[in-house]
Amino acid sequence: MAYFHNNKEAYFAIRERINALVLVEGEADYGNFIRTLNAVVAKYTAILNSRLGKRGKKETENTQNNGGSV
């Protein structure tokens, strides 16, 4: 579980930094990165949903709502 926690912290740190840079410098420089990262998150969320079934779907939906996209 520590592995998941470290990855979650790293994701939130990246997300915070990118959001701050977008606010300061504008989205033009970061738009492609944001779209790519959101696609990767969506891909792995779909994989988790299929592996965990209905029980896990609520957990990943909550993660998406709380974690959201970049």
**Along the 70 residues of the chain, how does pLDDT read in single tens digits?**
666 678 889 999 999 999 999 999 999 999 999 999 999 999 998 998 998 886 655 555 555 555 566 6
How many folded domains does the chain comprise? 1
Torsion of CA 31, 34, 35, 39, to 10 degrees: 170
Q: Do 41 and 48 contact (CB within 8 A), yes or no?
A: no
Structural domain containing residue 36: 2-67
Res 52: pLDDT? 87
pTM of the model: 0.63
Q: Which two tokens stand for residue 55?
A: 């029980």
Contacts of 16 (CB under 8 A, 6+ apart): none
